[in-house]
Amino acid sequence: MNKKKILFLTGTRADFGKQQSLIEATEKEGRYDVSIFITGMHMEPRYGSTANEILKGNFKNVYSFINQRQQDSMETILANTVHGLGNYIYIKKPDMLVVHGDRVEALAGAIVGALNNLLVVHIEGGEVSGTIDESIRHSVSKLAHIHLVANEEAKRRLIQMGEKESNIYIIGSPDIDLMTSQDLPSLKSVKKDFDIPFNRYAIFMYHPVTSSLHNLMDNIQEVVKAIVASERNFVVVCPNNDPGSELILEELEMLKDNHRIKIFPSIRFKAFLVLLKNCEFILGNSSAGVREAPFYAIPTINIGNRQNGRFLHKTIIDVPESMEKIISAIEKVKCLKVKSSKHFGDGKSTKRFLNVLKSKSIWAENIQKQFIDVNIV
């Protein structure tokens, strides 16, 4: 019997973290021909060349593609990815393309897959945020045939968008499978690998909001002043490669000689999870603060509007980009008593994903999608 060919697309350290357990399990099954298309910030030295970390996983079929130069616009990156992935698919001819989230690489994958009559699977559609990422996520969903969502809330949104209910599967967020894994490294080994000397520390991650670049410099300056004034130890992870990231990197450069701060272009996802699980709090505007941190019952100081509309939990304190408000929130964190949240899953996503793949109905799905009207009274 010919094996079904499944292609996973990854363009960021975060989306690989979401897909890693799924890729490993699918390859281990032995009944599928699994490939990985690596592109995006994975390929950039200034973001840690994280493609090398994927290659260390000894996956059988991996292809790396450089889709951007420094300062390339998002539409250029989108076009480059469509072109490169299209050429790869022409040769590889997969049966299924799996994409994740709301990045331009995922959008490129959905476009190429749909135009080549491939079965497109979208992980974590139906979610909202306060940026252009939300529009990209919904666009990917409209091009995808199969939806693997985190919860009922996301499922309802996709139904509202005209997607067929029988093609929406609640599997939870796959990264929680890694978060609950017994294979995570020890905190001691992670600190040794990354030369982190702190006993107590917080994590800082701050990304540009592409629709609000006009005040990005003022915002990041306020945030950096708060970090310094707090006199806390911080593990800092550099931003995504979105427009405006160079402004953030310039400000972070001013912190490099501060003995309370360790800055990294990227941190391996499993190592990051260990650091997150053991930190005092996470500061910034990363989705890790509203998704992963609540699962570990770690407080989040969520800055600005990048996560607008996302999950609200007692672990999360929302603040504007103001030094005084951030310092005040850091003081409040000491008093927070929180419990773990399983809003985004329970650590069984991989098992559910494999069950979806084994379903005959998805492989027989009509590639020509139809809009499903919702009865509105």
pLDDT tens column, 309-337: 677 777 889 999 999 999 999 999 887 77
pLDDT > 80? residue 30: yes
Active site residues: 214
Average pLDDT, the chain: 93
User: What percent of the chain clears pLDDT 70, i.e. is strictly above it?
Assistant: 99
Tokens of 100: 């994740």
pLDDT at 260: 97
**pLDDT for residue 69 is more than 60:** yes
Which whole number is the average pLDDT over 303-311? 79
DSSP string, 284-295: ES-GGGTTHHHH
What's the pLDDT tens digit per position in 149-177? 999 999 999 999 999 999 999 999 999 99
What per-residue confidence (pLDDT) applies to 52? 94
Gyration radius of the chain over CA positions: 20
Q: Does the pLDDT at position 376 exceed 70?
A: no
What integer is the mean pLDDT of 348-373? 95
Locate tokens 């951030």: which residue? 326
**Widest CA span in the chain:** 64
pTM above 0.85, yes or no: yes
pLDDT on residue 171: 97
Q: What is the pLDDT of residue 314?
A: 78
Work out the pLDDT band at 306, boundaries 50, 70, 90. Answer: confident
Split at pLDDT 50, 70, 90, the class of 1 is low
State residue 66's pLDDT score: 97
Query: What's the topology of domain 187-333?
Result: Rossmann fold (3.40.50)
- Alpha-carbon gap, residue 67 to 81, rounded angstroms: 6
Structure tokens given for 106? 């995922």
Closest CA to 145 of 173, 129, 169: 169
What pLDDT shows up at residue 132?
Answer: 87
* 99 SS3 class: strand
* Class in CATH terms, 4-179+347-363: alpha beta
For the residues 344-352, what does the mean pLDDT come to? 93
- What is the reported pLDDT for 377? 57
Residues 194-205, mean pLDDT to the nearest whole number: 97
Question: Cα dist. 255→174, 221, 244 in Å?
Answer: 34, 11, 18
The answer to which of 43-47, 127-131, 359-363 has the lowest mean pLDDT is 127-131
User: How high is the pLDDT of residue 226?
Assistant: 97
Q: In what order do the strands lie in the sheet with 261-264?
A: 261-264, 234-237, 202-205, 282-284, 300-303, 316-319
Q: Enter the DSSP assignment of 240.
A: P
Distance CA 359, CA 171 (A): 14
Q: Amino acid identity, residue 154?
A: A
Within the chain, all domains assigned CATH 3.40.50.2000 are found at: 4-179+347-363, 187-333
Dump pLDDT digits (tens) for 243-295.
889 999 999 999 999 999 999 999 989 999 999 999 999 999 998 998 899 99
CB 301 within 8 A of CB 319: yes
Predicted local distance difference test score (pLDDT) of residue 118: 97
Summarised one tens digit per residue, pLDDT across range 208-246 is 987 778 899 999 999 999 999 999 999 999 998 888 899
Give me the mean pLDDT over the 353-372 stretch: 95
Mean pLDDT, rounded, for 286-308 = 89
Q: How confident is the model at residue 375 (pLDDT cuts 50, 70, 90)?
A: confident
Q: Count of alpha carbons within 13 Å of 210, Cβ hemisphere only?
A: 17
Residue 20: Cβ within 10 Å count: 23
